[in-house]
Structure 1
């Protein structure tokens, strides 16, 4: 019978023992007698949730211990640091990449409109630039409509079924866009594409938060966002190639773009259906379990994997379904800590959001051909993605989210100021292009902000809702972020750059206030703990323990 972990189970003792003494504990079942219970309680009271200290190289020969529930009984799992690294590497190579690949094609399906707009699409469909903008906004509106409902369905039937199904559905809709002939068809296609994509990002982020510990989450979330961060580059290269085969098979270049991206997305969804597991104990489910396979985690490795997760955060369970109550939703929506993230999302992302749609068109207006414009649009997102990976490793180590994202905000503001002052003319084409590359090359910060929000959520239910609300706001921002680049404002885009600067200013100001507030509440929390008769009762509300053992109410 497959293992299940109960979310109410307390963290068992974590201590170093000799290999000879610890090895037999790997599969010992805890007894139900009074002495066993008292011994377990005594050991937990003695060492609590402490972890092995010192340099990782000093952990050789030492074991971690954690109880899980297996076949209805408590089982004590013991494992070494090296064994833990091995099972995490398996997830990094076999579990994380499929989610990153799905997200990459989702982002390409959204942003390939940038390449489409450099083709003959507007002329072939009889649309104006502003009508194309409206269709782009409808996609984001469609995503917002079903963001939370989709996330609730995911938790009812399990992400291993719901997420791959979503990918296949929106891949089919992506292909159908090649049959658009007028503005009405364009509006309908983009709206349904958005509806099909609803809930994918928050659902995937929630799954990752259940498979990785707090110390691992920022870098893994950044890897999850890595593909989408460079999707503009991939999309530009796909567009450039598709435009070169204009007329092949009787199709326009923009039709080839939709066809190539849609078929690739469907193939990715089918692959995900074969590989995405229900839990660490259910990794052998090729084609939804139709094809027998031992799985990429053995029974022992699955035990270690779930034990390490519970040891790091006792509130996490490995059940693929979860009950979300209405109170969980209201607690997130009416918490003051949620809103700074949403304001930062609505302003920061959209300060450069319009460039994902109109970047290639703006480059084309500098005097380049459509194919060359798409190629020139590729480098900046790649640079931003690799810089984002570097920042995520720093955040995983030092847990300083506000300072890191503030650095990116300042970078972006400098670039936008340069774009505002440089004219979009052929004479100044390369200087403007250089400023454009610098601006879009600002390190990817969205995964850091999402991780920050996740770590400041107290329960798995609230974390799931927070993801849905945040990503819903991100998509809501897309409804207006693309509208700043209007046809009447071309080619200088003075009003557009002014709007981008205004949004960037709100982003930076909110970030400064948010970070200061979190630090202030942490100081108040520390003072309350020092003055309390029972500090342990208050410390249970702490979400973050720094390297000096000090407990904090919020990550900042």
Structure 2
């Protein structure tokens, strides 16, 4: 099993030279850049913005030394933050809305109009997640062959069309087919996008950018609830039910976002001057000089991102990730932690409606919590980027979630206690968004880009696999108290927290053993993945 992976970043070779020489070399080089080869970086930096970093990249068959200041680096990163990252976040947002808008659909007349039972509707919800899991890794192989600037926008347009098609569902069979094919179309989008982001940002930037990538999806339940509330208000317009309007509005919006992405997503930092997948030239948002700096800074921070312009993902890369003991704690945390409160994304509005609120009001009341969760998640990501303490930070979110679930378990779902239960629901849903931190943690503990790509696919596959059972927790026979559901959520949360504690302790223990081995054999320092601010090297981020 192997695939050719088209890389979007450059490869460097070691050297350093005065800034004047670098500028001269860059001036002599052509605009089109092909980057390849191994690298190391050197720096004359002492912490001031006006001192130069130095890094060689290969362009048009010759070595080119790029020298830049910290201020210049900040400027090109800001451009990516404002012009590149938002496109991916926007695509992810509409993907999440297309998944979670079923929460609003289920508060409408959907079940009655399609002659389904509540459990049949739940089965269709689970089939979407099953469909995503089926093609997660194959989709990423196609992405690396075709290129993310083509493949990812195409995916968005296709699942937007399938989202619209859901408005024509007449019965359970049609619902099952629609959700399954929607899941198949969405397969690979998240790990593929995460891999692209990992090629555009350094280790010190990745946690906060991954969190921003997840920011839109984190608040998608809020957007979806507002869209649902508006759509349900126009019930009967154009001869359509309210739930049909939800699917139509979301699907058309998704298609529009996919077309925008096809227009603007570049092949690499050196290709921002081409629109529509590189077909139409324009001025671009990175000049050649800025693209050189962007590429050089990535290679200087992580030479492993500068492997050959094409690389292959082989069976050994897959087995190395799957059979490495460090991978499995992340997957257990994903399968338990996400689903400890994951069912609320689907059934949250329905549960609120059972408190005695109308369908429109229930959707509006479902909006605030995800926004709070996302904002708190951004603050946590800033902490992680600064201190690199993933286990402690995710543990904070786990304890918060567990406290909320205990309150939900204790409080009865009755109209007499509606506002107290709703407050507990908001607190639980407002727990800081932690999944982007966990997936970033996993990627940073991978040695090579190949393993990072596989790790992303495996992790997101597990995340989606969890969706197949996370929604099944809230069964119609358990309504309205959901005692068994809350007990199941608490059990999953306990597994999440216990695994996280064990994982963090194991990484710290392994790092101590690694430090002793390095003391005896300094050549083992090459195995280190993390160097703290005091220059101490560690085998794993923890």
TM-score relative to the length of structure 1: 0.92
Give the aligned partner of residue 133 of structure 1.
122
Q: Is residue 549 of structure 1 aligned with residue 535 of structure 2?
A: yes
Q: Is residue 193 of structure 1 aligned with residue 190 of structure 2?
A: no
Give the aligned partner of residue 37 of structure 1.
none
1:433 to 422, 427, 431: 422
1:23 to 20, 24, 39: 20
Q: Is residue 78 of structure 1 aligned with residue 67 of structure 2?
A: yes
Q: Is residue 150 of structure 1 aligned with residue 143 of structure 2?
A: no
Structure 1 gap ranges (5+): 16-20, 32-40
Partners of 1:77 and 1:296 lie apart in 2 by 19
Partners of 1:484 and 1:74 lie apart in 2 by 58
What are the within-5 Å matches in structure 2 for residues 410-425 of structure 1?
Answer: 410-425=399-414
Partners of 2:280 and 2:56 lie apart in 1 by 32
Partners of 2:375 and 2:527 lie apart in 1 by 35
CA shift, 1:181, in A, is: 0.3
Distance 1:449 1:149, change over 3 A: same
Partners of 1:176 and 1:4 lie apart in 2 by 35
Q: Is the 8 A contact 2:442 2:455 kept in 1?
A: yes
Q: Is the 8 A contact 1:210 1:317 kept in 2?
A: no
Distance 1:4 1:469, change over 3 A: closer
Give the aligned partner of residue 375 of structure 2.
386
Give the aligned partner of residue 223 of structure 2.
234
Per-residue Cα deviation, 1:192-215 (whole angstroms, up to 9, x for no partner): 000000000000000000000000
SS of 1:79's equivalent in the other structure is strand
Q: Is the 8 A contact 2:267 2:277 kept in 1?
A: no
Judge which range, 313-322 or 145-154, deviates more. Answer: 313-322
CA shift, 1:320, in A, is: 7.4
Partners of 2:44 and 2:102 lie apart in 1 by 49
Q: Is residue 102 of structure 1 aligned with residue 91 of structure 2?
A: yes
CA shift, 1:323, in A, is: 1.8
2:102 to 96, 113, 117: 113
Partners of 2:167 and 2:239 lie apart in 1 by 12
CA shift, 1:378, in A, is: 0.1
Distance 1:406 1:189, change over 3 A: same
Partners of 1:268 and 1:228 lie apart in 2 by 14
Q: Is residue 348 of structure 1 aligned with residue 331 of structure 2?
A: no
Partners of 1:550 and 1:30 lie apart in 2 by 39
What are the within-5 Å matches in structure 2 for residues 472-511 of structure 1?
Answer: 472-511=461-500
Distance 1:27 1:96, change over 3 A: farther
What are the within-5 Å matches in structure 2 for residues 190-269 of structure 1?
Answer: 190-269=179-258
What are the within-5 Å matches in structure 2 for residues 447-462 of structure 1?
Answer: 447-462=436-451
What are the within-5 Å matches in structure 2 for residues 325-364 of structure 1?
Answer: 325-364=314-353
1:529 to 505, 510, 518: 518
1:442 to 421, 431, 441: 431
CA shift, 1:384, in A, is: 0.3
SS of 2:56's equivalent in the other structure is strand
CA shift, 1:51, in A, is: 7.0
Give the aligned partner of residue 59 of structure 1.
49
Partners of 2:502 and 2:317 lie apart in 1 by 26
Partners of 2:23 and 2:64 lie apart in 1 by 8
Per-residue Cα deviation, 1:513-537 (whole angstroms, up to 9, x for no partner): 00000000000000001111xx1x2
CA shift, 1:156, in A, is: 1.0
Give the aligned partner of residue 306 of structure 2.
317
Partners of 1:206 and 1:212 lie apart in 2 by 10
Partners of 1:308 and 1:351 lie apart in 2 by 39
Partners of 2:115 and 2:309 lie apart in 1 by 47
Q: Is the 8 A contact 1:402 1:511 kept in 2?
A: yes
Partners of 2:393 and 2:341 lie apart in 1 by 18
Q: Is the 8 A contact 1:274 1:286 kept in 2?
A: yes
Q: Is the 8 A contact 1:155 1:323 kept in 2?
A: no
SS of 1:203's equivalent in the other structure is helix
Per-residue Cα deviation, 1:45-99 (whole angstroms, up to 9, x for no partner): xxx7567344xxx332x11110000001111011111111111111000000000
Q: State the superposition RMSD in angstroms.
A: 1.9
CA shift, 1:286, in A, is: 1.4
CA shift, 1:115, in A, is: 0.1
Distance 1:318 1:212, change over 3 A: farther
TM-score relative to the length of structure 2: 0.95
Counting matched residue pairs gives 527
SS of 1:66's equivalent in the other structure is strand
Distance 1:29 1:492, change over 3 A: closer
Q: Is the 8 A contact 2:10 2:295 kept in 1?
A: no
Per-residue Cα deviation, 1:284-339 (whole angstroms, up to 9, x for no partner): 22122332212111111111110000000111138775421111111101000100
Give the aligned partner of residue 525 of structure 2.
539
Partners of 2:63 and 2:287 lie apart in 1 by 19
Partners of 2:150 and 2:270 lie apart in 1 by 16
Q: Is the 8 A contact 2:507 2:541 kept in 1?
A: yes
Structure 2 gap ranges (5+): 1-6, 29-37
Q: Is the 8 A contact 2:44 2:54 kept in 1?
A: no
Q: Is the 8 A contact 1:401 1:448 kept in 2?
A: yes
